[in-house]
Structure 1
Amino acid sequence: MARTIGSHGPTTLEAIRKAGVRLIFEHGYEAMSLRQLAAEVGIQAGSLYNHISTKQDLLFDLVQDHINDLLRELDLALEGKADPVERLRAFVAFHVTYHMTRKREVFIANSELRSLDAKNYDAVVALRGAYEQRLAQILTDGMSEGVFEVVDIQVATFAILALLTGLCTWYRPGGRLTRDDIIAAHEKLVLSGVAPQAAAGQASHGSRGPRTAVAGS
């Protein structure tokens, strides 16, 4: 590969980060070597140390920046929304959209936690906890206002996040559903899962009639 134009400064650091994301995503952190990373960027292996301290530091910076972006953009998506139902819809729409468009970063942040040393691991887990707390607070507020009903806030938080993040394993651009279709489907799943039982029972009762008529026709 040709040498990167301007093999120093912010331009090269950004090239290193982008190459690092791609190589870790494709090969895994342990399999990626700094020599391979330097070749990808187009600089000498020794020149990497002008921009990163260690391979571990690169991984930590990538994961930390990803979660900081996640937190910052979520707060913007929730800004000005007070109603818990509206906030939960906004959370779902944001989380699904982000995970559709940042699949590599999401994969690395989830799969390479094991590769972080103890100090970096603790820092990342704390950041993840802050993101989880945003959702937990929405559910708590909804419980207080009587619009949500969940058995356990922490269990519900982890279950919703697992449901929403799961699309990373199957989503491919250009499929039969639009992005809005996928967001709407996830919103319905999440909101129906936290709806008070009385409301859910009414919805189920109201939809039972047409199914019976079809079955008997």
Structure 2
Amino acid sequence: MARTAGSNGTRTLEAIRKAGLRLIYRQGYEAMSLRQLASEVGIQVGSLYNHISTKQDLLFDLIRVHMEELIARLDRALEGFDSPADRLDAFIRFHVEYHIARKREVFISYSELRSLEPKNYDVIVELRGRYERRLIDILDEGVAHEDFTTADTTVAAFGILAMLTGVCTWFKPGGRLSKDEVIEVYSGMIRDGLVRPGAGFTPDRLLPRPPAGAVPGA
């Protein structure tokens, strides 16, 4: 995507990405024009092409970077947790905290998936599959160890992800429940649906925190 090298070019490209994120989140990809984008950044329209090739490339870059960072940060968040129960705990906490902290990126990655060209769409779907696979593997391991019970781990994973991702549409800092309390509510529902009695969870146990620095906004 980037065409301009050097510190000034890097700063301008980052400004373009941030402005593009704001505009697409606010009014949608189709409605955003390159003229608006250039105005938001404070450069001429023609100067945009020193940094991005097309509007489609900008959208693809925003979603791709989001997905790659999501996967990398999840892998760090899961480090140090060995049992399926603890890894599930860590996954729940990471997913909720990340999605609360990155509401715009998450919204765009779902709502504008339809706007991607086929080759770009395929790349993003593959990245999403890698993230989903992390949770499916946790559930598979839990079933194999007889910690979890579910008829289909893939269906269970998709259900869990849909429930957890919804938090970014309604959670507000300073609301009735804190972030940790919301995580505990979600975790309790997932425990009830998946975890065999005596598998390591207790109703009043708060979720363990991942290693320091593993989760954005923690």
Alpha-carbon contact 1:84-1:139 (below 8 Å) kept: yes
The higher-RCO structure (CA 8 Å, 6+ apart) is 2
Deviations 1:47-81 (A, max 9, x none): 00000010000000000000001000000000121
The structure with more helix, counted as a fraction of residues: 1
Question: What do residues 10-55 of structure 1 show as CA deviations (whole Å, max 9, x unaligned)?
Answer: 1111100000000000000000000000000000000000000100
| Contact 1:17–1:62 (Cα < 8 Å) also in 2 | yes
Q: Please state how far the C-alpha of 1:199 moved relative to its aligned partner.
A: 6.2
Superposition deviation, residue 183 in structure 1: 1.2
Structure 2 residue ranges without an equivalent (≥5): 1-5, 203-218
Q: Does 1:32 align with 2:32?
A: yes
Tell me how far apart the structure 2 counterparts of residues 147 and 43 of structure 1 sit (CA, whole Å).
Answer: 57
Mapped to 2, the partners of 1:76 and 1:92 lie a distance apart of 14
Displacement of 1:8: 4.4
Per the normalisation by structure 1, the TM-score is: 0.87
Residue 102 of structure 1 pairs with residue 102 of structure 2: yes
Distance 1:173 1:58 in 2: 30
Between structure 1 and structure 2, the one with the greater Rg is 1
Residue 52 (structure 2) aligns with:
52
CA distance in 2, matches of 1:39, 1:193: 50
The CA deviation at 1:168 is 1.7
- The corresponding residue for 1:149 is 149
Give the corresponding residue for 2:180: 180
Q: Which amino acid letter does the alignment assign opposite residue 21 of structure 2?
A: V
Task: Give 1:7 deviation, angstroms.
Answer: 10
Q: Which residue of 1 aligns with 2:216?
A: none
Counterparts of residues 1-217 of structure 1 (less than 5 Å): 8-196=8-196
Task: Look up the SS of the partner of 1:106 in the other structure.
Answer: helix
**TM-score, reference length from structure 2:** 0.86
Percent of aligned pairs with the same amino acid: 60
**CA-atom RMSD in angstroms:** 1.9
**In structure 2, what residue type is equivalent to 1:33?**
S
The answer to whether the 8 Å contact 1:7/1:43 transfers is: no
Deviations 1:153-183 (A, max 9, x none): 1110100000000112211122111111111
* Equivalent residues, number: 196
Q: Conserved in 2, the CA contact under 8 Å of 1:8 and 1:50?
A: no
Question: Where has structure 1 moved over 6 Å in runs of 4 or more?
Answer: none
Q: SS in structure 2 opposite 1:50?
A: coil
- In 2, Cα distance between the equivalents of 1:65 and 1:191? 32
Contact 1:143–1:149 (CA under 8 A) maintained in structure 2? yes
Q: Which amino acid aligns with 1:62?
A: L
